Amino acid sequence: MLISDNGIDLIKNFEGFMSHPYLDVAMVPTIGYGTTHYHHRAVRLDDQDISKKTATYLLRTQVDEIYGRAVNHLVQVPLTQNQFDALVSFTYNLGVGAFKGSTLLRDINHGKIAAAYKEFHKWTHANGKVNRGLVARRSKESKLFLA
């Protein structure tokens, strides 16, 4: 399964666009729509600016090759497109390792959809504090997951 345009738009909405490198809330060099790595190396703060077109290409490529692939591999039950999009957004934001070790994934694989929905809301902290942007993102992802 591949992420839909709706899923890409969800990620873009929450990540926002920055043409130049910056430090995200976790203090990781980032560019475009939350991209922390190019194909060949990590983003550096002295990198060149990029266009929205390039940022969208990087996002879609990484989502398809890394995050969508991970969701396809780790989830052992059939998903709807909305569930897949929500999980890819979640995994893009938190990383494959966090998703792989999560109770969210375990609940999904055990068919506990209501419990999985609740698990989204536990992932709202950055640097040890509740982050309003992450609260909003998890709310949107969880609602999409159930839609």
129-130 and 18-23: which strand pairing? unpaired
Q: pLDDT, tens digit, for every residue of 62-86?
A: 999 999 999 999 999 999 999 999 9
As a whole number of Å, the end-to-end CA separation of the chain is 17
The answer to whether 15 is a known catalytic residue is yes
> Has this prediction a pTM greater than 0.85?
yes
Identified catalytic residue from 15, 65, 119, 141: 15
Domains contained in the chain, CATH given:
5-146 (1.10.530.40)
Confidence at residue 126, expressed as pLDDT on a 0 to 100 scale: 83
> Mean pLDDT across the chain, nearest whole number?
96
Confidence at residue 50, expressed as pLDDT on a 0 to 100 scale: 97
Q: Indicate whether 39 pLDDT > 90.
A: no
Closest CA to 94 of 56, 65, 124: 124
Confidence at residue 100, expressed as pLDDT on a 0 to 100 scale: 98
Rounded average pLDDT over 94-116: 97
User: In the Cβ-directed half-sphere of 121, how many Cα atoms lie within 13 Å?
Assistant: 7
